[in-house]
Amino acid sequence: MAFINFEEKELRTLKACMNCYYLNSYQSSSCANCRETNLIQEYNGMVGLLDPSSSYIVKLIRSYSKYGGDLIPGFYAVKIEEEERLDGDD
């Protein structure tokens, strides 16, 4: 079994994709999973996905992100801060 070690400062710099919830590095300008460019740092929690073909996590991610495309192995946000996203829409 492999373990991925993140330093605390690295976790604070990840950006969540507003479309599929994939967590991208701070330097990313687009999502590595769905190629969308709407990435934000305001998210809560994360889940790891190792094998998308046989994981129940895929069903969970699709249910709360409403993304229907394929998912790649990696980390996904559990919740996107909707309040932060909607503040500019008023």
Per-residue model confidence as pLDDT tens digits over 50-78: 888 888 888 888 887 878 888 999 999 98
CA distances from 59 to 49, 62, 63, 65 (A): 11, 5, 6, 10
Residues in the chain: 90
- Write out the DSSP string of 1-38: -------HHHHHT-EEETTT-BEE-TT-SS-TTT----
Is 38's pLDDT higher than 60? yes
Pick the CATH number of 12-82 from 2.20.28.90, 3.20.20.80, 3.40.250.10, 3.40.50.720: 2.20.28.90
